[in-house]
Structure 1
Amino acid sequence: MSHYFIGIRVSEQIKDSLIQWQKKLADSLEYKVWTSPEDFHITLKFLGSASEKDVETYKKKLEEQHWPHPFRLQVGPAGYFGNKEQPRVFYADVTKEAPLMEIKEKVEEIGEALGFQKEKRNYHPHVTIAKKNLGGESPLVATGEPSIFQDTFELKVSSFSIFQIHPKRFNKYEVVSDIALKGER
């Protein structure tokens, strides 16, 4: 069995901006894991280990739903998990817009009905830039100067995807299926 998750891909323009964040971040911090630009995404639900049959059933249930119309999210500014001076995870924050939260909740409900464990932690949407800090000092520590890490970007969300995880590949995430947001039918 493979591992899967459900998430939202980011646009090419946002990928390009986040690559610049990674380059600037690498000047001051060292990380064990740098997210491949092709893997930048906003996670909705981690499924873990699942059979192809279970994933296909989940996909069919997702396709039967009435999803919100396409909408926009703000990606950025930068955020972190852990210590501000040496964050264990460095990310681009994502706004909790109502349509995003509606999708997240429906995805969880469907998953729980299919036997997937419901996430117990509070949902904090973000795009991971790097994780597993190895040292250095964060550029988020106040310098009084404007920083690219304060930038924000607009993401138009018109679909979300089921991804299969390939841990040994450079680009670890493969889209298995896309679910279009069409609004009420």
Structure 2
Amino acid sequence: MNTHYFLGIKIPNNLAASIIEARKGTNLHETHKTLPVLEDLHITLFYLGWIEQNTLDQIIQSCQNIDWKSFDLTTNGLSHFGSNHTPRVVYTALKESESLTSLQEEVTDIISNFIEVDNPKEFNAHITIAKKWASNGFISIEGFQLENTTFKVTNFSLFRVNPTNTPRYEEVCIMQSGGG
């Protein structure tokens, strides 16, 4: 099986711990197959999938040359992809951020220089807390209690996906902001 990669922003441990604690107030452990562990919580900027090492090295080098300033992000409750009753993905939402959108667009532009980027989807920044619906019941998320929390983004990373490990996502390379 080929190794897959993605570029993303790791969630600070203190916030990740709060999200995991808030998730305990739901029944997501009963309704979904996959509940990411604290160390795996992230915001995906671009999912690369399998990619040749030479191309990966070029993408890393180009991403390290992005000139961007650190910025703040703020959580914004819970949301989901899919049906209200049987959502595929449940996530901690984020307030809109021009800085985040700009960084994600720049990353996508760089990647498009090396691989074909088919119909880039509209970027919906989120922190997945449960995925892969696996129940006959209904979701109960009323107990999810997480105050909107602001955190600083000073870097993003290239992650290797290790599907049989816990945590699943391994930071391979970190791209620092130019300040801010």
Fold match (TM-score > 0.5): yes
Mapped contact 2:27–2:140 kept (Cα < 8 A): no
Q: Please name the residue that 1:39 is paired with.
A: 40
RMSD, aligned α-carbons: 2.0
SS at structure 2 position matched to 1:7: strand
SS at structure 2 position matched to 1:148: coil
Q: Please name the residue that 1:20 is paired with.
A: 21
State the aligned residue count.
Answer: 178
- Match status 1:125 vs 2:125: yes
Deviations 1:104-146 (A, max 9, x none): 01100000011242453211110000011222322347xxxxx
Whole-Å separation in 2 of the counterparts to 1:108 and 1:55: 14
Instruction: Give the C-alpha shift of residue 27 in structure 1.
Output: 6.8
Gapped regions of structure 1 (runs ≥ 5) = 142-146
| Aligned-partner residue type, residue 15 of structure 1 | A
Mapped contact 2:13–2:38 kept (Cα < 8 A): no
Whole-Å separation in 1 of the counterparts to 2:49 and 2:119: 12
Q: Please name the residue that 2:86 is paired with.
A: 86
Using the size of structure 1 for normalisation, the TM-score is 0.87
Whole-Å separation in 2 of the counterparts to 1:149 and 1:138: 15
Whole-Å separation in 1 of the counterparts to 2:29 and 2:172: 36
Equivalent residue runs for 1:30-179 within 5 Å: 30-67=31-68, 69-118=69-118, 120-135=120-135, 136-140=137-141, 147-149=143-145, 151-179=147-175
Instruction: Give the C-alpha shift of residue 182 in structure 1.
Output: 1.0
Whole-Å separation in 2 of the counterparts to 1:171 and 1:110: 28
Whole-Å separation in 2 of the counterparts to 1:172 and 1:91: 18
Using the size of structure 2 for normalisation, the TM-score is 0.90
Mapped contact 1:40–1:128 kept (Cα < 8 A): yes
Mapped contact 1:85–1:140 kept (Cα < 8 A): no
| Aligned-partner residue type, residue 160 of structure 1 | F
Instruction: Give the C-alpha shift of residue 99 in structure 1.
Output: 0.9
SS at structure 1 position matched to 2:121: coil
1:150–1:37 CA distance, 2 compared to 1 (3 A): closer
SS at structure 2 position matched to 1:25: coil
1:27–1:57 CA distance, 2 compared to 1 (3 A): closer
Mapped contact 1:5–1:47 kept (Cα < 8 A): yes
Instruction: Give the C-alpha shift of residue 65 in structure 1.
Output: 2.0
Instruction: Give the C-alpha shift of residue 37 in structure 1.
Output: 1.3
Q: Please name the residue that 2:9 is paired with.
A: 8
